A and B are shown apart, each in its own frame.
Chain A
């Protein structure tokens, strides 16, 4: 379980995280959202020990994360950063096998191989396991890296924008995979996503940051409201419910908002007044 206490991080004079405190619940998907530069990736990087905070503490299972040994923490938390370089010549299976490194120290036993097989199977990449990484498409490569994280077999998984540059089919299938993992194994996944609808449809909780400050931590049900979205992302939108999922429509919304505005001012009708723009 992650607990963030008064984390502050500055890049030069710019404050990226400003005294952020929150705790993440276990056994669910939590989405970190916010506009560009809101500090969500920075927060995740600090939790994954990729970056050092200027002040504040990260507690993991009630203990300061700094007090854990690197290998110990690698058996409990697996993290994947936004873009991964792949300039080494390595096959899919070999890369996924790296996930076993904290447990096996590079000497793979039978049970390690079994877990690797399972992870490959789970991300549906068993058929391409002997291909080289540089022969794959962006979506396939992302699946391979997630399979590596799964092979690490940790209770906590931190993912920084795993859906970057992926098409609809790829990103929805990856999210469905993650959802299944949490439902079946009760793992905890904390994920930075850009797409608010993706956060709404697949996660139990949404954490929103704005200008380095925590704005809201709520369930998608409570989160997906027009005034909340306006506050966090500074866009006008409409919320719709489709099959129990709340969807936010924010494209080409300002125009409609303006039209409503005109109606409201010309008639002063009460119907519009209680509808926030």
Chain B
């Protein structure tokens, strides 16, 4: 049973947290996430969500509260944006290193300085290497669906999950969303079982100093060194692909919506030119592909749903027939190129994919990205490749660069 409501992305995220019966919420308001934390506090105050809402003085503390509550067995939720996310950075590593299944919505926003409250994805890209799974949403329906799936993934893998969606473009834009029934979500999402039960009868030192080498505990048990613990996190992240794929399939069976496993494809069956992106700009690329096909360019879209773990084998399959690959990225690794561009090129190493890859930086700090602008970019790239200049420096679309 589900009903359709016309809601913003922030409302969708709040409803998802409520449907997942989160027990502790600790969030510090920041534009464009604020509405989400406000709705959750209303849920808690009015009693329709039986959770503790911990008011904190910073995002660093918000994540610390989540870490503590998750450690003692609570299902926790938080959300942030931009500089708030960066302020959490140290605790993001702590959450992943503690292997806690925290779910956080990142409402993507440009990072200051200079200040911007508007959308790009520099914030979550900057947290790529913290050991969190990153899932990107293309519309408000995916926000609610991905938060529900995120808990199931996190609690199986014992790794935290960021559900990323674009600020304003999704967070403040109303669109129809199927709201799943509470019973359906409850049956899809078993209760959270913490990997370690803490109790006064069985006290534990949590995250003690680990030495470079494995060592015997006082009880004669061989304990991991720091390096073994890091390896376990990497292994869990690599193995999480299977869990993510299975969760996606089972979600599709139960809820009737398939948002893709590691990635999704649009009109790629016969596509010669493949556009790729993460988040709402990937949805815009779908509109661009329809226009391109009307003009005779056989194009398709591969949307990257999961950025970490990076879908190495999935992209090698999805792009295998591409003659040209055009990327649109809302973030950049300063001094090099877009993060997706680097990762894709690395994934294609020693495959048969040798198609030119053109990387466009778009929509930084909320600059609007229109489908026709993507169409023009693709056409100019296709023309350049056709006339014998396949290499192209990373370019900034719709930006005064000289």
Chain A bound to chain B:
no
Residues of chain B at the chain A interface (Cβ within 8 Å): none
